[in-house]
Structure 1
């Protein structure tokens, strides 16, 4: 029986974030224990050089590659990933990885008792797997565990360049309708209104925070009551790679969050210790999961867009909405980059290039025929 985890937190980060990180680390260790022993120094390299979520993603990809070697090739005699030998890895060539990425990963099958499951990876997923394996093979070469660096021989994977007019986001009038829906419930079915009546203040606060700050899903999901300092007009969030950031509160968001805390959220002393500080709670008085928040956003945006709940927009689309709207209102691209925590300003520039009806305006004012011009 697995023991419960007790947190002795001596950092200034909230317990819920420490616990979430610990769960990710435990998952990393679990995968590491299932991989060959000669990878141990590579695991140490990952631990100290990249964020824990990226570390987990790399380990999942590498374990998947090892299972491929066992189940789909004659490149190893092992029956378990942990039994693959350093000598077998030494014999691997670039073409072996290229077959994995280009032939197997693009479409593969898994047999269950009753069905055959088909899995497909688009180029972005393939590029991540390529990056994971490049990291591994480069390290093994640098660490003198492999005599040749085969990573430069991996076939390139072309990623489509993001097109500004393909960005999915809400227009300003659609944001207004979404917030009105959260406030009035007009547009919900009678059955949906039963739930909306219980969560309308929470829902409005969540949607406002997404479209005002362009928060990432995890950044919002991790928020606590103690994250907010209303007297100073600010709140604290924890970004990727353990970065902390103080965000200013505007009156609209401050009023919405305060209204939710005072008039809808259960009082802290009525909640178990594990949930007493969590900001956004489910109807079961537990911290909302990332999945629940994603479904909430999809529900509201699907009604505004007039589509099915499945086709509604994700929280990341509201992040794009915030970026595009801020730039449309005339804010500096560098200020928006800082607010949204983009690593590179070129990411922000994509939103700056996206202006409503720009193609229509160009063509409307560009006529070849003199008769039409007149």
Structure 2
């Protein structure tokens, strides 16, 4: 990677190529849709839509009597008018469980299933797709608008408790419970791993934001660092002295490492001396947290939820939590942390005594 290209630019280049690859697998008229929604959607949303539409058209070719006579590339815009709301509902039912050939070994198959959240995302894509062409009077019908969204049941927030957080950091520092093989590698990554986990637990940073942090983004006089949010805007996150200590310890070790060319400014490096990637961080988090609890599946996002929960408990200010976590809509934050308000109400009910014991 050339040194004059930032992590965000490199990532955007890769995402752009991935989107083009997916669009090329779709009917030709779909390109117009993706160009049309570009100003109002993120590239991640468009990539997600491209996967969903590829799946939808693939389903039609395999299961619809009319489309079975065509390949995906032979489908034209007017063909959309031949799809009924019942066809879309059948696709929704299909998503409950389906089997596909293994990409690398066609003789083997893989089983897939979607919960209501996954089905709702795909239906939102199809609705947006039809709405785009219907609004521009390119098609005369919009069957997707008649299909009901699946009901999504909110799941409770999964997070680490205070004692689990302390134990997690203790395990990384001491190496306790790690295997001999893990310990051999961990002596090179201990300071880095503590810094990564401290950032998650002390700032609520997203994993995609964390891997993009550069050394030059950090100001220890300010106890803050610059990040690029999902929408592309830059903000400063602040950290405590405890997080500062973890970062300084790691950076002192980081100075002794010679990065691969192009990664000189990257904060967190892999053992290959390149910028660490999202998957490696996810694996790191799972490795350590599985030693703390085997009942919770903890991901980087769950560590983010842990921070959000602790911040809300300490401040009681949902707007501060929404701002620090980078939620565009405070209702998203309220929805996720409403359970904490319920805990407080339960505590309040027990405080007031009607009769002395």
Q: TM-score, normalised on structure 2?
A: 0.90
Shift of 1:363: 8.3
2:140 corresponds to 1:141: no
Correspondent of 1:236 among 226, 232, 249:
226
Correspondent of 2:27 among 36, 40, 52:
36
Give 2:282's aligned residue.
Answer: 294
- Shift of the 7–88 alpha-carbon distance from structure 1 to 2, 3 Å rule, reads farther
Does the 8 A contact of 1:233 with 1:248 survive in 2? Answer: yes
Does the 8 A contact of 2:3 with 2:263 survive in 1? Answer: no
2:303 corresponds to 1:318: yes
Correspondent of 1:344 among 329, 332, 337:
329
Give 2:207's aligned residue.
Answer: 217
2:72 corresponds to 1:81: yes
- Shift of the 251–358 alpha-carbon distance from structure 1 to 2, 3 Å rule, reads closer
Shift of 1:265: 5.3
Give 1:250's aligned residue.
Answer: 240
Shift of 1:264: 4.3
Does the 8 A contact of 2:60 with 2:67 survive in 1? Answer: yes
Shift of 1:27: 1.1
Does the 8 A contact of 1:199 with 1:264 survive in 2? Answer: no
Correspondent of 2:262 among 264, 267, 274:
274
Shift of 1:340: 0.5
Shift of 1:352: 5.3
Query: Which sections of structure 1, spanning at least 5 residues, go unmatched?
Result: 10-14
Correspondent of 1:98 among 89, 112, 116:
89
CA distance in 1, matches of 2:63, 2:205: 42
Give 2:161's aligned residue.
Answer: 171
CA distance in 2, matches of 1:200, 1:7: 27
CA distance in 2, matches of 1:7, 1:141: 46
SS in structure 2 of the partner of residue 284 of structure 1: coil
Does the 8 A contact of 2:203 with 2:238 survive in 1? Answer: no
Shift of 1:51: 0.3
Shift of 1:338: 0.5
Correspondent of 2:46 among 9, 31, 55:
55
- Shift of the 106–7 alpha-carbon distance from structure 1 to 2, 3 Å rule, reads farther
2:59 corresponds to 1:68: yes
The 10-residue stretch of structure 1 (31-40 or 174-183) with the greater mean CA deviation from structure 2? 31-40
- Paired residue total: 353
CA distance in 1, matches of 2:56, 2:297: 34
CA distance in 2, matches of 1:314, 1:128: 21
SS in structure 2 of the partner of residue 343 of structure 1: coil
- Shift of the 171–355 alpha-carbon distance from structure 1 to 2, 3 Å rule, reads farther
SS in structure 2 of the partner of residue 241 of structure 1: coil
Correspondent of 1:205 among 195, 199, 216:
195
Shift of 1:46: 2.1
CA distance in 1, matches of 2:10, 2:240: 30
Shift of 1:234: 2.2
- Shift of the 233–356 alpha-carbon distance from structure 1 to 2, 3 Å rule, reads same
- Shift of the 323–25 alpha-carbon distance from structure 1 to 2, 3 Å rule, reads same
CA distance in 2, matches of 1:174, 1:135: 43
CA distance in 2, matches of 1:7, 1:71: 47
Does the 8 A contact of 2:60 with 2:68 survive in 1? Answer: no
Cα RMSD of the aligned pairs, angstroms, is 2.6
Does the 8 A contact of 2:219 with 2:225 survive in 1? Answer: yes
Give 2:154's aligned residue.
Answer: 161
The 10-residue stretch of structure 1 (50-59 or 34-43) with the greater mean CA deviation from structure 2? 34-43
